[in-house]
């Protein structure tokens, strides 16, 4: 019986565990090829977008800001508030159905091409590791070697570099939620003055550092729910990275003549290059993140052995079995129709959210102030918010329902230009006590957009001494 290769994986055990169930740390071989080049270009594009977006400001507003404590959300020139919740529902459902639609057609393209874990580990963390500790075999040798001064120095340098990168990733992430200008200012302050923000930053940085620097493929295999979801969403017509058994089998074994085996020479290049430690020749597996490393590794071997490339390739199970590929199945059409409906609903809700909304609040403190024996003063706050597209608006505040000549409306700058998404106006109304009935009078504030002549009417109550 032929001796088993050291790279032959156990039939009933993960490639990342040993016989006793302990973790086996992976050191996947580096590969070169067209797919790796494509992925690296796309990865760096995503990293550039991630790092730059929160620093772009339009009309004084951060282009993308998810201010959860204030319940304000900015997206390009659009502004949304808590009362725009229906739009958020369309966005969340749309994202879920979009992922379902994309996965049912293109498989785990998210995992291999856009997942932050894959992008940052492949583009930054592994490169730092290679720069300090060397190529995969050198890293494995270092990991297995006893602790020496040289090993301590290399490991320390690596984790210091990991920490620096993790801090930058985490600060950028937090900038999407608290604002980059605010985050930049508090970064130079005493952490005790912003303890909550500092604690959140510490937790995010620790999570990124441990996940990207140490946990790595274990997250994909153990913690990420997307791998489990794929078994429900994908089918035989979904695109996946597959091994062509018709071409490859039987695999070459010692003593076989060239005409006796298929194109697979059993070199295990695909296994050695896999970042999650699987053998793609065993079919679609939960651990596969569709990173294309095995494609490039196998294509390189095919070129060296004068065989056609594509023994491992992007394809569908149906197509490999000779049944052809059917993209638009009933389920995919269903996903698409629901997605189109959600997009239409989003656009419709967005059109309804355009314009301004107003809230009238009574000033804090006493309900009224006696100005003279015959007059009283009431204090109000009028909060004006712009939803949707933020534009400059000429706004005028007036009142309706109080006897003409019996009151004075005191507002700083009225009319005024609403330039931002939010403005609070302090309003005082001084009125004759004779307008009151039993110490109160209902009236209306009129908030008018002078450019469109649109009016918002808000009811309020004057209060004063009871005669």
User: Which of 367, 178, 455 lies closest to 187 in space, CA to CA?
Assistant: 178
The C-alpha atoms of residue 215 and residue 410 are separated, in whole angstroms, by 63
**With 90 as the cut, is the pLDDT of residue 247 above it?**
yes
The C-alpha atoms of residue 431 and residue 372 are separated, in whole angstroms, by 10
User: Which of 392, 384, 389, 396 lies closest to 453 in space, CA to CA?
Assistant: 396
pLDDT at 3: 57
Residue with tokens 């109000």: 380
pLDDT at 265: 95
Residue with tokens 């529902």: 89
Whether residues 247 and 145 share a domain: the answer is no
Range list of β-strands (E), 202-279: 240-243
Q: Which of 284, 315, 346 is the last residue in one of the domains?
A: 315
The C-alpha atoms of residue 57 and residue 108 are separated, in whole angstroms, by 34
Does residue 388 contact residue 354 with C-beta atoms inside 8 Å?
yes
Whether residues 205 and 289 share a domain: the answer is no
Does residue 417 contact residue 361 with C-beta atoms inside 8 Å?
no
* Per-residue pLDDT reduced to its tens digit, 345-367: 988 888 777 678 888 999 888 88
Q: Which of 203, 232, 261 is the last residue in one of the domains?
A: 232
The C-alpha atoms of residue 354 and residue 454 are separated, in whole angstroms, by 12
The C-alpha atoms of residue 238 and residue 110 are separated, in whole angstroms, by 13
3-state class (DSSP) for residue 214: helix
Whether residues 177 and 86 share a domain: the answer is yes
Whether residues 114 and 172 share a domain: the answer is yes
3-state class (DSSP) for residue 166: helix
Whether residues 252 and 220 share a domain: the answer is no
pLDDT at 44: 98
Structural domain count, the chain:
3
pLDDT at 390: 66
Does residue 105 contact residue 238 with C-beta atoms inside 8 Å?
yes
Whether residues 197 and 301 share a domain: the answer is no
pLDDT at 1: 43
Helices (H) and strands (E) in the chain, counts: 16, 16
**What secondary structure letter does DSSP report for 412?**
S
- CATH code of 435's domain: 2.60.40.10
* Per-residue pLDDT reduced to its tens digit, 11-40: 777 888 888 888 999 999 999 999 999 999
Residue with tokens 């590791």: 129
The C-alpha atoms of residue 321 and residue 325 are separated, in whole angstroms, by 10
**With 60 as the cut, is the pLDDT of residue 441 above it?**
yes
Report, as an integer, the average pLDDT of 326-338: 86
What rounded mean pLDDT belongs to the chain?
91
* Per-residue pLDDT reduced to its tens digit, 75-92: 887 777 777 778 888 989
* Per-residue pLDDT reduced to its tens digit, 52-74: 999 999 877 899 999 888 778 88
Instruction: Give the range of the structural domain holding residue 387, as residue numbers without chain letter.
Output: 355-463
Q: How far, rounded to the nearest angstrom, does the alpha carbon of residue 66 sit from its chain's CA centroid?
A: 11
Is residue 120 a part of any domain in this protein? yes
């Amino acid at each position: 019986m032929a001796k088993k290769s050291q790279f032959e994986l156990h039939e009933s055990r993960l490639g990342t565990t040993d016989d006793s169930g302990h973790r086996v740390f992976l050191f996947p071989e580096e590969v070169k090829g067209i797919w790796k080049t494509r992925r690296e270009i796309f990865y760096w594009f995503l990293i550039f977008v991630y790092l730059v977006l929160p620093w772009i400001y339009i009309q004084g507003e951060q282009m993308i800001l998810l201010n959860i404590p204030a319940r304000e959300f900015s997206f390009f020139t659009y502004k949304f508030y808590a009362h725009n919740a229906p739009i958020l529902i369309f966005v969340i459902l749309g994202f879920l159905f979009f992922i379902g639609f994309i996965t049912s057609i293109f498989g785990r393209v998210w995992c291999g091409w856009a997942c932050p874990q894959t992008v940052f580990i492949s583009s930054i963390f592994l490169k730092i590791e290679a720069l300090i500790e060397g190529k995969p075999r050198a890293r494995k040798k270092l990991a297995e070697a006893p602790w020496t001064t040289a090993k301590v120095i290399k490991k320390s340098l690596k984790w210091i570099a990991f920490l620096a990168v993790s801090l930058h990733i985490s600060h950028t992430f937090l900038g999407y939620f608290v604002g980059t200008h605010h985050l930049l200012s508090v970064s130079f302050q005493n952490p005790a003055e912003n303890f909550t923000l500092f604690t959140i930053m510490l937790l995010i940085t620790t999570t990124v550092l441990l996940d990207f620097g140490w946990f790595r493929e274990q997250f994909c295999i153990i913690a990420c729910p997307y791998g489990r979801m794929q078994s429900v969403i994908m089918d035989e017509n979904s695109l996946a990275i597959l091994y062509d058994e018709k071409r490859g089998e039987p695999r070459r074994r010692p003593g076989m003549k060239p005409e006796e085996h298929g194109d697979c020479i059993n070199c295990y290049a695909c296994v050695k290059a896999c970042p999650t430690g699987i053998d793609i020749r065993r079919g679609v597996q939960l651990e596969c993140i569709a990173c294309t490393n095995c494609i490039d590794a196998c294509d390189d071997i095919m070129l060296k052995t004068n065989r056609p490339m594509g023994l491992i390739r992007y394809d569908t199970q149906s197509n490999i079995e000779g049944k052809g590929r059917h993209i638009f199945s009933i389920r995919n059409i269903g996903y698409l129709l629901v997605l189109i409906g959600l997009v239409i609903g989003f656009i419709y809700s967005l059109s309804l959210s355009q314009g301004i909304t107003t809230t009238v609040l009574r000033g804090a403190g006493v309900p009224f102030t006696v100005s003279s024996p015959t007059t009283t003063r009431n204090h109000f706050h009028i909060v004006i918010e712009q939803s949707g597209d933020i534009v400059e608006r000429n706004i005028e505040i007036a009142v309706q329902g109080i006897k003409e000549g019996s009151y004075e409306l005191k507002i700083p700058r009225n009319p005024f230009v609403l330039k931002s998404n939010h403005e609070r106006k302090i309003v005082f109304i001084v009125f004759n006590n004779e307008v009151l009935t039993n110490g109160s009078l209902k009236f209306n504030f009129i908030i008018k957009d002078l450019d469109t002549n649109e009016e918002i009417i808000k009811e309020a109550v004057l209060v004063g001494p009871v005669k």
